Amino acid sequence: MKIWLNGTISDARDARIDPSDRGFLLGDGLFETMLALHGHILFADEHMLRLGAAAELVGLPLPFSLAEIEMACADLLDENGLDDAPRASVRVTVTRGPGPRGLALPAEPKPTLLITCAEMGAPPERLSLVTATPRRNPWSPSSRLKALPYMDNVLAKEEAREKGADDALLLDTNGNVACASAANIFFWEDGKLVTPSANCGILPGITRAALLELAPDIGIDVSEEEIAPARLSRFSGAFVTNSLMGLVPVTRIDGRDIPAHSMTARLAAAYELLLDAAEDDE
């Protein structure tokens, strides 16, 4: 596999990242994961804008322009023979680079920027969830960013696996429903689409944003709310979203079966049309 590292494409086995890199030592960095269909990276501009905004927020100077990073992603797909793959993932990782020991920021940061890609299979047809122990912290700036520290998510996912579920359902520190381990979540309630609000410690996902804009266009009312776990028993359907999976129905939460909702299929079909249009615009 070939990777793109600091402006150079090379074999992954030949790449070298400084052992003092703060991304490795402290999780001091950001990332974006994108879906490519037949070499076309979906919502690339939105991902790049989110990366740029996050980097500015945490004071991490990007070593390349957003346009250069986007072009590098396309070049890497081509170099790996994935420019015509039905589905591929592209990940951009940027760290603050090497630095001295301790937490203080380096006086003159030299960020590391890594891009990788891989062919993907089809997303799962359905998922089961179980409420996990780790909580999302709405007060943490990193909860709203694609930041490198993902230990809580990793532990939540493993806890779900040990309990026989496909993924975790995470609450925030106020006890409200937040998200899955690496996905946003939506529920159907009385014909309305409900999703946790941005103040529940969620990452505002790119697919989530697309659905919030798309749903009203096809006659679906949608609301961002604080959702207490007690409401889960009243929901008539659920699904999770992220850039790689799209929309995946949730069929079970904490041992309770969640019925299939006809509107999920309708919304998923509308989203697929949106992706098809994005591909045609290439």
Report how far residue 9's alpha carbon sits from residue 67's, in angstroms, rounded to the nearest whole number. Answer: 17
Q: Record the pTM.
A: 0.94
Domains and CATH numbers, the chain: 2-119 (3.30.470.10), 127-280 (3.20.10.10)
- Nearest by Cα to 136 from 118, 156, 116: 156
3-class secondary structure, 200: helix
Chain position carrying tokens 């804008």: 49
Report how far residue 47's alpha carbon sits from residue 241's, in angstroms, rounded to the nearest whole number. Answer: 15
Two tokens, residue 257: 């079966």
Tens digit of each residue's pLDDT, the chain (282 residues)? 999 999 999 999 999 999 999 999 999 999 999 999 999 999 999 999 999 999 999 999 999 999 999 999 999 999 999 999 999 999 999 999 999 999 999 999 999 999 999 999 999 999 999 999 999 999 999 999 999 999 999 999 999 999 999 999 999 999 999 999 999 999 999 889 999 999 999 999 999 999 999 999 999 999 999 999 999 999 999 999 999 999 999 999 999 999 989 899 999 999 999 888 776 665
Other beta carbons less than 10 A from residue 113's beta carbon: 20
Q: What is the DSSP letter of 123?
A: P
